[in-house]
A and B are shown apart, each in its own frame.
Chain A
Amino acid sequence: DGGITQSPKYLFRKEGQNVTLSCEQNLNHDAMYWYRQDPGQGLRLIYYSQIVNDFQKGDIAEGYSVSREKKESFPLTVTSAQKNPTAFYLCASSGYRGGYYEQYFGPGTRLTVT
């Protein structure tokens, strides 16, 4: 089955700790993305990568870091510098399907920092 996996589903951390969220896809998509979703708000783009070994900041990159060493993997680190890290984090990848360029999401990681 092709898809996007994220782990863990729920994550709890103490303030001041860095935490890394995993995202893997086997859709053979070049582009991958990280978003965060807060209650009542639309998804906001944190980082994206169009190709291996390259990535770009999104709208809210401060306090986050990423790497793209393999096409299949795009992990996100939430650092202690991120002021409000508690959120629902969604990883996505994009590719062509039936002639259209579409984006698909993983199941998400719900991070709680106390």
Chain B
Amino acid sequence: RKEVEQDPGPFNVPEGATVAFNCTYSNSASQSFFWYRQDCRKEPKLLMSVYSSGNEDGRFTAQLNRASQYISLLIRDSKLSDSATYLCVVNSWGKLQFGAGTQVVVTP
């Protein structure tokens, strides 16, 4: 079993709609969590850090469920520019584990 698992997608989302997807992790001792955004053939860019039960930044909301060992990312009012791959990253005692990413495609 992978340490961090994500649905690869793609999630096809009409512009203006809401999309949400999860990431599960296997190490219950993980301390912190991150969502990165990666555009095609570019480096990952930090989108949000999740240190407690959740975090909200504009149209993006991340939630952490420690009991079920997953984090989620919700994007409201999707824009065409939100099309990207979203990487879930889990920090366990200083070691980062990366998911393979969830692809989101926002369509006009």
Tell me the dominant secondary structure on chain A's binding face: strand
Q: How far is the CB of B85 from chain A (nearest CB, A)?
A: 10
Write the chain B residue with the least CB distance to A88. B41
What's the minimum C-beta distance from A69 to chain B, rounded to whole angstroms? 23
Known pairs A102-B46, A104-B46; A43 contacts B98 (CB<8 A):
yes
Q: Please determine whether B51 and A100 come into contact, CB atoms closer than 8 angstroms.
A: yes
**Most interface-central of B43, B49, B87 (chain A CB within 10 A):** B43
- Is residue A103 contacting chain B, with contact meaning CB distance below 8 A? yes
Contact B34 A102 (CB under 8 A): yes
Q: How many Å lie between the Cα of A41 and that of B100 in the bound state? A: 5
B42 engages A42 (CB within 8 Å): no
Cβ-defined partner of A107 (8 Å) among B32, B42, B98: B42
Contacts of A88 in B (CB 8 A): 41
Give every chain A residue within 8 A of B99 (Cβ-Cβ).
42
CA of A104 to CA of B36, assembled, Å: 10
Is B59 an interface position by the 8 A CB rule? no
Question: Would you call A40 and B100 a contact (CB within 8 A)?
Answer: yes
Does B101 lie within 8 Å of A42, measured CB to CB?
yes
Is A87 in contact with chain B by the CB < 8 A criterion? no
- Among A40-54, those with CB < 8 Å from B are 40-45
- Apart from A42-B4, A45-B95, A103-B34: 6 A-B pairs, beta carbons within 8 A: A40-B8, A42-B2, A42-B100, A43-B98, A101-B32, A102-B46
12 A-B pairs with C-beta separation under 8 A: A35-B98, A42-B4, A42-B97, A42-B101, A43-B98, A100-B32, A100-B49, A102-B34, A107-B42, A108-B42, A108-B43, A110-B41
